[in-house]
Amino acid sequence: MAEDRIASIAQLVRDGGRSFSFEFFPPKDEAGEEQLWRAISALEPYRPTFVSVTYGAGGSSRDTTVRVTSRIARETSMTPMAHLTCVGHTRAELESILDSYAAAGIHNVMALRGDPADGPRAPWKATPGGLTYATELVELARARGDFTVGVAAFPEGHPTAESLDHDADVLVAKARAGAEFAVTQMFFRASDYFALVDRVRARGIDIPVLPGIMPILNLNAIRRQGELIGCEVPADIVARISAHEGDPAAVRAEGIALAAELCEELLAGGAPGLHFYTLNRSKATLEIFAALNMAV
């Protein structure tokens, strides 16, 4: 049975430890479910600090988040964290989902606003009786149960933030509301991450900020996603990957090498760990681990 709480990441960092974690999404069908559990089994021996499961935009994927996260709590040695968003939910519904997390032994919640149905850059429309900002969900989760709460951070700024300073103010507000750590959106320049951490520290907040790592295995897909969420793939990275165009194995190897270089730079610069976007597969994450000489 898993420990049911993320041992304080702040404490882990103070003690000189580093946090390694893996993120999954709710699978859509049986084949996806099998692929997810293969990835979970392959990654479990690496003894991550926690594993997280994202919360869908709507429909059945939301129940799948609860189901998969509960099964991780029940059947693996890993500590699960369930994501939750404000999209389409009243406060009472959010309370009821938090209660079902707690009943399933899930005591770690990633509190997010979520994106509007029309996409990350569309204006936010609050659900009647619902919440407007992630800060409110952080407060709700902290008040509702004994949850350890994580929040989102944006090294290049959230796409609708007024400025990088305002973006940092928002992260600080989430920490003051009770968030114990943050995980970043994908990014490709370590300098963007360190600048975000500096902005937050300059505001007197020492919340650990875990960098979110997404290897580029398909340049066009990552660039499209990056445009939506406000994350640029720098020209030198595009050039290094494009140099292998037509050779999928070489493109993949370069994407893994680039991710490993980013991880090394982040850890050398004092990042408190790494959070891997696995896309429900273990291979790329394990290849990065091998490049970093991280064994089981």
Q: Are 89 and 128 in contact (CB under 8 A)?
A: no
In angstroms, the first-to-last Cα distance of the chain is: 20
Instruction: Return the structure tokens found at 180.
Output: 């114990």
The residue within the footprint of ligand FAD, chosen from 183, 200, 205, 284 (CB under 6 A), is: 183
6 binds ligand FAD (CB under 6 A): no
The residue within the footprint of ligand FAD, chosen from 49, 69, 85, 282 (CB under 6 A), is: 85
The residue within the footprint of ligand FAD, chosen from 142, 158, 189, 252 (CB under 6 A), is: 158
98 binds ligand FAD (CB under 6 A): no
120 binds ligand FAD (CB under 6 A): yes
DSSP code of residue 135 = H
CB atoms within 10 A of CB 41: 11
CA distance 6 to 75: 17
17 binds ligand FAD (CB under 6 A): no
CB of 70 to ligand FAD, least distance (A): 16
Q: For residue 177, how far is the Cα from the chain centroid? A: 19
Q: What is the DSSP string of 200-245?
A: HHHTT----EEEEE---SSHHHHHHHHHHHT----HHHHHHHHTTT
Nearest to 108 by CA among 79, 133, 88, 129: 79
Choose the binding region for ligand FAD from 89-97, 132-140, 194-202, 282-290 (rule: CB under 6 A).
132-140
User: 161 to each of 30, 37, 135, 167, 229, how far by Cα in Å?
Assistant: 38, 36, 15, 6, 11
112 binds ligand FAD (CB under 6 A): yes
CB of 176 to ligand FAD, least distance (A): 11
152 binds ligand FAD (CB under 6 A): yes
36 binds ligand FAD (CB under 6 A): no
CB of 169 to ligand FAD, least distance (A): 8
Residue 3 a catalytic site member: no
Active-site position among 23, 136, 180, 254 = 23
DSSP code of residue 80 = E
Which ranges constitute the DSSP H helices of the chain? 9-14, 30-43, 60-75, 91-103, 134-144, 164-176, 190-202, 219-229, 235-242, 248-268, 283-291
CB of 85 to ligand FAD, least distance (A): 5
Residue placing its CB nearer to ligand FAD in the complex, 171 or 260: 171
Residue placing its CB nearer to ligand FAD in the complex, 108 or 185: 185
Instruction: Return the structure tokens found at 178.
Output: 């009770």
The residue within the footprint of ligand FAD, chosen from 2, 42, 102, 161 (CB under 6 A), is: 161
The residue within the footprint of ligand FAD, chosen from 170, 231, 233, 286 (CB under 6 A), is: 170
Task: Count the residues of the shown chain that bind ligand FAD, applying the rule CB under 6 A.
Answer: 25
CB of 55 to ligand FAD, least distance (A): 4
The residue within the footprint of ligand FAD, chosen from 83, 89, 240, 252 (CB under 6 A), is: 83
Instruction: Return the structure tokens found at 130.
Output: 């619902």
212 binds ligand FAD (CB under 6 A): yes
Q: Are 258 and 237 in contact (CB under 8 A)?
A: yes
Catalytic residue positions, numbered: 23
Applying CB under 6 A, the residues found at the interface with ligand FAD are: 54-55, 57, 83, 85, 110, 112-115, 120, 133-135, 152, 158, 160-161, 166-167, 170, 183-185, 212
